[in-house]
Amino acid sequence: MTDARQTPARRLPAPGRPVPTSTYRVQLGPDLTLDDVAARVGYLTDLGVTHVYLSPVLRAAPGSTHGYDVVRHDEIAPELGGLPALRRLADAAHGAGLGLVLDIVPNHMAVPTPVWHNAALWSVLVEGPASPYASWFDVDWSAGDGAVLMPVLADRIGAVVASGEITLDEADVPGFGTTTVLRYGEHVFPVREGTTALPLTELLERQHYRLAYWRVADEELNYRRFFDVGTLVAVRVEDPDVFEATHRLVLDLLADGTLDGLRIDHPDGLADPAGYLQRLHEASEGAWVVVEKILEGDEDLPADWSTAGTTGYDALWRIQQTFVDPGGAAPLGALMHRLTGDASDDYAHVVEQAKREVVDGPLYAEVYRLTTLAASICSDDLRLRDHTWRAVHECLVELLVAFDRYRAYVVPGQQVHPDSVAALEHAAAVARGRMSAERGATMDVVVDLMLGREVGSAGRTRGNRRDELVVRFQQTCGAVNAKGVEDTAYYRWTQLVGLCEVGGEPTRFALTPTDLAAWAARQQQTAPLAMTTLSTHDTKRGEDTRNRLAALSELPLEWADLVRRVHATTAAYRSARVDGRIESWLWQTLAGTWTADGPISSDRLVPYLTKAMREAKTSTWWTAPDDVYETAVLDLARHALADPVVSGLFEGWEQRTRAAVRATTLGTKLVQLTLPGVPDVYQGSEVAVPTLVDPDNRRPVDVDAIAARLTRLDEGAGPRDLSDEKLLVTSRALRVRRDQPDAFVGPEAGYVPLAHSSGQSMVYARTVADDPRVVVVATRLAASVDRLGGWADHTVVVPPGDWLDVLTGHEVTGGIVPVAPLLERLPVALLVRTA
């Protein structure tokens, strides 16, 4: 049982504040406005959700398709309908008994084209450090001769100036009037007062910004950005005035009841996440807030963060890997080795190599800035002076590569948590093993500086530069992990590509129901109102793709045989340029997206493979595409889709795995919707439609067609296909949550595993004050059940009382219940006590 008094106070909203029982995420944009969402309120109410979860709605850069590139914090995007449309949506939602949750972006703003769309940033380019907005942005004014680097040129500036591509012009800049500007293609920049009459080269030298070749950004950028995205500039919300200015509209919408809660994008990028969340908690009067936080392995959310919990990636990988067969690890590892040369125990090396490339490449500017800061601290202290810039740089590089978390959670001037100390010292020990022994003393200094310890002259622990170093190191750790692991290594590791997911743990190939139950019981105690998810706008592939890929683990030998046959069949048109990694990636992608209706379309597969190749960064890159290599891979994909032999093999595979895929699809969904936490249903994932990484997973959803399916089911029709079955499971589970919120998000809600005789079943109850109200039964590894001849005499223990399976109408009496009749119609059951 969970009692509110046992849950940490920081994990609970203030008394009386709304708490979602479930959410439904919508991706707003040109194809889905706020009024469009308002028109879907009836369907969402029928589905059973309690809150609509909106992607960012503040005004974004021109042409934005996602809203994370904010340019104004005081305006709802006109393209979405503006504030009036948000009010209309709120009225429609509230009238139907629904609430609204909003995704906000405190870490960064856009560097749009033209820049004047971001009036605050334009002001900084006009006035430099004297701008009233200079404190908004994380700019190192000591670098770049006091000018903000603007890396927008297609060539080096000498060549661009010589070609006459930069010109003086007049422009009407909103908020600044008609003014003289510099034009370069679509880019427009202000001209500093008193410099308009100067020769162009001298004029360029005198601005508060420096126009530069775009490749310069990776080496000399002097503003903090979002990861390696130069068009997203970091915002200093640690400044109370900046926090107030950038959050006032959202806080007002919380205060007047338009919004009920918030999702915080990328808090690890902030200077002080704990301080930010505490300020937000106070300013919002204790609203329900969840954070997009990646927890590595068994890492816990910091206890001093005032948040209900994460957005659910920690739940995602655990649920998914509970439905993966551990017996598939060795055969799939052997297959990977034959195709790619990668061994099953090479993952750590793949990650190390990827992170090293990122540190030395797209994130070099951040590492250079860290090194210069740390080296200056050493240089100014006699006791540290002999630790050279190069030695410090080598230590920082190795420490960043070895550090296996997104953040160490060290706050200057505060006592460091033992977990943070252990994490940094473990990384340092790994790093020392990769360096010469002579660098050991410098590594000791670097670690002490990162932990805020006394090092160097007596008494020196604090200071502006030391504090800044502590903060920037942590901000850089997140970028290195995101770009090195999720956006590089995950596109290289092919043992089972479905494990390579945001926040995932590919080295833990599979989990047991006991593992998941232990985690769920702990969540019920420590973060019962955190979010759970299976798909988001950022996942590498949708849940239905991963569910199909999980079948590879259940039938690994059959999969290896299929790959052998496909490899032989495609030999005639497979170029020698096609490497084993991308070939394995292609076949698994087809397996993950091949349904009873056939394969994924070429116009979806080709862009996805192009992105996957460039993210892998082994043979082609976003910044330097290898057309010959990419053409070879894409030609293979197109020919394979058109090859009747290949099609026959994958059609046979889809039929062979249909039962396993069905059980995993319905099982993962039911478990996600009933585990401790607030489950989110990503738009369209209530039906079984495999999707890939963005932009594929952000395509418009045909809600009318899904609503028609739901109406047919509600009228008593039986499910016709897997999508119908998934919609049935989703809607019934959401409605049970809505009807019995006390069993899921109430202060006395509980989670209790129930006894069962088979490792292929998952059984647990949701309780109120220890009284069972809902029982969940799910099948995992259905192929194993089939191999064993069915459920035979296996049983589950249902608590005393009379129960109704709301999925099938089957009535059950508590006690020792045979599994076979319980799961005769569906591989899952959702029992609700009738008395």
Query: In this predicted model, what pLDDT tens digit does every residue of 569-588 receive, in sequence order?
Result: 999 999 999 999 999 999 99
Q: Report how far residue 584's alpha carbon sits from residue 569's, in angstroms, rounded to the nearest whole number.
A: 14
| CB count in 10 Å sphere of residue 496 | 26
The mean pLDDT of 28-36, rounded to a whole number, is 96
pLDDT of 1: 36
| Mode of pairing for the β-strands spanning 148-153 and 209-213 | parallel
> Residue 186 corresponds to which tokens in the numbers above?
């679509």
- The rounded distance, in Å, linking the Cα atoms of 309 and 677 is 9
Report the pLDDT averaged over residues 114-132: 96
- Residue closest to 444 by CA, chosen among 433, 463, 426, 428: 428
How high does pLDDT run on average in the chain?
96
Q: Which of 424, 422, 443 is nearest to 432 (CA)?
A: 443
What pLDDT score was predicted for residue 175? 87
pLDDT of residue 405: 94
Contact call for residues 406 and 296 (beta carbons, < 8 A): yes
Using the predicted structure, report yes or no on whether residue 793 has a pLDDT greater than 50: yes
User: CA 485, CA 274: separation in Å to the nearest integer?
Assistant: 25
| Tokens of residue 54, six digits | 């909106």
Rounded CA separation 830/835 (Å):
16
Q: For residue 18, is pLDDT > 60?
A: yes
Contact 456, 346 (CB under 8 A): no
Average pLDDT over residues 352-368: 96
Burial 705-721 (b: 16+ CB within 10 A, else e): ebbebbeebeeeeebee
227-236, 441-450, 494-503 — which is least confidently predicted? 227-236
Beta bridge partners of 233: 109, 225
Map residue 48 onto helix, strand or coil: coil
Cα-to-chain-centroid distance, residue 690: 18
Among candidate residues 658, 654, 740, 723, the one with its CA nearest the CA of residue 684:
723
Percent of the chain with pLDDT over 70: 99
Instruction: Dump pLDDT digits (tens) for 388-434.
Output: 999 999 999 999 999 999 999 999 999 999 999 999 999 999 999 99
Dump the DSSP string for 535-564. --TT-SB-HHHHHHHHHHHHSHHHHHHHHH
- Which residues, 6+ apart, have CB-to-CB distance to 568 below 8 Å? none
User: How many other β-carbons are positioned within 10 Å of the β-carbon of residue 357?
Assistant: 18
Among candidate residues 739, 743, 709, 748, the one with its CA nearest the CA of residue 725: 709
Cross-strand partners of 815: 798
Q: Where would I find the H helices in 555-593? A: 556-569, 580-593
CATH T-level fold of 9-107+237-311:
TIM Barrel (3.20.20)
List for the chain the helix, strand, coil content (%; round to 5): 50, 15, 35
Note whether 294 and 502 are within 8 A (CB). yes
Task: Give me the amino acid identity at 753.
Answer: P
Q: Please give the CATH architecture assigned to the domain spanning 115-234.
A: 2-Layer Sandwich (3.30)
pLDDT score at 553: 98
How many residues are present in the chain?
835
Mean pLDDT calculated for residue range 374-380: 96
Q: Which of 189, 188, 169 is nearest to 180 (CA)?
A: 169
Beta strand 99-104 pairing with 261-264: parallel
- Report d(CA 829, CA 822) in Å as an integer: 7
Across the range 341-369, mean pLDDT stands at 96
Does the structure show a pLDDT above 60 at 2? no
* Residue 251 phi, psi dihedral angles, 5° rounding: -65, -40
DSSP state of 378: H
Dihedral Cα 787, 791, 795, 800, nearest 10 deg: 140
**From CA 823, how far away is CA 590, in angstroms rounded?**
30
How many Cβ atoms from other residues are within 10 Å of residue 781's Cβ?
28
Task: List where CATH 3.20.20.80 sits in the chain.
Answer: 9-107+237-311
Q: What is the pLDDT of residue 127?
A: 95
Q: How confident is the model over 723-732, as a mean pLDDT? A: 98
696 pLDDT higher than 90: yes
Does pLDDT of 194 surpass 80?
yes
Q: Is the pLDDT of residue 5 over 70?
A: no
Cα separation values, 57 from 104, 291, 488, Å: 8, 17, 30
Which residue matches tokens 């700019």?
139
**Span 535-563, pLDDT tens digits:** 999 999 999 999 999 999 999 999 999 99
What span, in angstroms and rounded, lies between the C-alpha atoms of 189 and 181? 5
Give yes or no for residue 23 having a pLDDT over 50: yes
Domain boundaries for CATH 3.30.1590.10 within the chain: 115-234
